Homo-oligomer: A and B are copies of this chain.
């Protein structure tokens, strides 16, 4: 049995607090169990060079952890003078995931910055970042729409993310840290509210896995995504 009597196919308790910060147009604190991430969405009135004069906008994401978010203090990347490989990998994933449900042509030559800062880490920080950032992004776009800066909501669908793992030959949904460190296979799935895939990343940490296992993991992830989409809808008060 998992902590707090959680079933194998159950996600952790999720709490999303909107308008968590004063300054950014969209900001949430997402808590998935003990994992806590501040996600913000802000607009800057410029685009990267490759989009100059294209009429299109852009969305990019940055991700970081507080030094004491983890059990062992992790060194600040600023102090080391370089961003590590894991951080690069995660922030590129967050950016791709949110761009996939954003109509980049509908809000002018502006760039949305998504910032995900992990306050406390207990597994699943990248998936919580995607799920939480979507809500912050929806809040930013709502404000832009109210201010007449975009005609309709530039969102095509909901998006959320969840992990699945295989531990001792058992499939488990939404791994926390102690589970993650024992898993033979670790998969992160990003899906839309309509049940379409945006990203599938499965990695055999210890033992290669079969086609059947792959199919089961994808199925289980789908159930987690449904639950998360429902929570996003409730948090946002119905359709965005």
Contact = CB atoms under 8 A, between A and B. Distances in A.
Q: Determine the main DSSP class of A at the interface with B.
A: mixed
Contacts of A211: 195, 197, 218, 222
B21 A120 contact: yes
A120 B73 contact: no
Task: Output the residue of A66, A87, A187, A210 with the most chain B CB within 10 A.
Answer: A66
Smallest CB-CB A-B distances: 9 pairs: A196-B208, A85-B88, A77-B78, A78-B78, A40-B68, A24-B68, A200-B202, A88-B88, A198-B204
Contacts of A222: 211
A171 to B, nearest CB: 15
A84 B115 CA distance: 19
Contacts of A196: 204, 208-210
Interface string A76-93: 111111111111110110
Contacts of A23: 68-71, 120
B208 A198 contact: yes
A163 interface: no
Interface of A: 21-24, 27, 34, 38, 40, 42, 44, 62, 64, 66-71, 73, 76-89, 91-92, 96, 100-101, 113, 115, 117, 119-120, 122, 157, 187, 191-192, 194-204, 208-211, 214-215, 218, 222
A62 B78 CA distance: 11
A191 B202 CA distance: 12
A208 B76 contact: no
Given A81-B82, A198-B203, 4 more contacts: A62-B67, A78-B78, A195-B211, A200-B201
